[in-house]
Amino acid sequence: MNASRLVLALCLFATACGSEDSNGTGGAAGTGGAGGSGTGGVAGTAQTVSYIATIRGIQVPDPPYKDLGPMVGATVCLRGDATKCGTTDSAGKVTVTGIPAFSQIAMVVSHADYGNTLMLFLTTGSDKVQAFSLPNLEGTSKGFVVAGCPSPLPAGKGWFFIGLPAGAAASATGPTGPTKLIYFGTDGVFDPTLDAVPITNTEYGGAITCGVAPGVYQIDVTGAAGACSLGGGWPSSGHTLEILVDPDTYTPAHWNCQ
């Protein structure tokens, strides 16, 4: 199989907002005491929400991309907090409670057949609801095989994808400086000779890294027309968005424009 023709199914990030707030409890009022020395109120608890995800699998790398059905038995945890976890059921659905509201969040999705994925977003005062598919990377040791990339990717490295509209380009700067991005061509094949998403590519727009050092990456997008919004990743002061990369982990993000 020609590595330059290997592709990814990247219908990874269809997001919908939840409808219900999960509100914190305020502290009780203090009570007066003798001589005016009252007892202070109980401290309020921070507001939390739930993360509700429905996850499916897709077989890659070769098209046509086969829907593998619900991803059963995946562990989904709030990054850095092993007490905030859940496991997907027979429908690929999971609910994780106690997620901080109005916060920058990373959820780690782990499965033996799919590797580790970071889902990045900001919470509001409502539950966060997502439905998405993740790639089963057949024969690639959980690494994306594209032109110019090693297979498998070096241990301890991470990788990310950013979905982009037709005609857009992106630059990425991480812990070791500028990072090369490889764009989808018009046929959905990664093409290392491109410096932007082809204007005619309305289906497979995006770019991917080959395996990079863990850390935070600042992404700047140019050439995107219309009203744009973040569909995965974190907002970044002075940049279009930020992407967090962990070792041996994949992070998808999207810059959506209409």
Residue ranges of domains in the chain, CATH in brackets: 3-21+48-257 (2.60.40.2070)
Residues 6+ apart with CB under 8 A from 7: 60, 61, 62, 63, 146, 184, 188, 189, 190
pTM: 0.80
DSSP label at residue 235: E
Residue 216 CB coordination number (10 Å): 13
Q: What is the pLDDT along the chain (258 residues), one digit of tens a residue?
A: 333 333 344 444 333 333 333 334 333 434 444 444 444 444 557 899 999 999 999 876 555 678 889 999 999 999 999 999 999 999 999 999 999 999 999 999 999 888 899 999 999 999 999 999 988 765 444 444 555 566 667 889 988 999 999 899 999 999 999 999 988 877 667 788 899 988 877 666 889 887 899 999 999 999 988 899 998 999 998 999 999 999 989 899 999 988
**Residue 154 has what pLDDT?**
80
Q: What is the pLDDT of residue 211?
A: 82
Q: What residues does 129 pair with on adjacent strands?
A: 16, 52
The burial of 211, by beta-carbon neighbours within 10 Å (0-12 exposed, 13-18 middle, 19 or more buried), is given as buried
**Three-state secondary structure along 58-110?**
EEECCCCCEEEEECCCCEEEECCEEEEEEECCCCCEEEEEEEECCCEEEEEEE
Q: Phi and psi (nearest 5°) for 35?
A: 65, 20
Residues 6+ apart with CB under 8 A from 139: 61
